[in-house]
Amino acid sequence: MARSLITLPERVARGQSFTVRTLLQHPMESGFRVGADGRVLPRDIVRRFRCLYDGELVVEVELFPAVAANPFFEFSVRAVDSGTLLFEWEGDQGFRHREQRALSVA
């Protein structure tokens, strides 16, 4: 089970850029390591991260097996209107995690 940590300001001025930070706790497995029984451990990585601001895509990242466990992203967004930021992570074996945060623009 994954757990996310998301930080962004609750309130920003219209037109102002603000920083968003996300961290997803996820035990990444590249699919290249061998387990104690001599078998290759199945790949289990987060393959995609997306952030949408009121339905409009602001960030999309494609990940590969070389990425570390617990992927961290930091990016800037310009405040347009009050609304919702939707964060989505997708991965192997049907993994999907979604979180939402409200943003108030003054």
Q: What is the pLDDT of residues 6-65, one digit of tens each?
A: 999 989 999 999 999 999 998 888 888 899 999 999 988 899 999 999 999 999 999 887
Q: Are strands 3-7 and 11-12 parallel, antiparallel or unpaired?
A: unpaired
Q: Which residues pair with 13 in a beta bridge?
A: none
pLDDT band at 104 (very low <50, low <70, confident <90, very high): very high
Tokens matching residue 59: 């960030």
Task: Give the pLDDT of residue 27.
Answer: 81
Task: Give the pLDDT of residue 1.
Answer: 63
Task: Give the pLDDT of residue 73.
Answer: 95
Amino acid 23 reads L
- pLDDT reading at 93 higher than 90: no
Q: Which has the closest alpha carbon to 81: 103, 99, 101, 100? A: 103
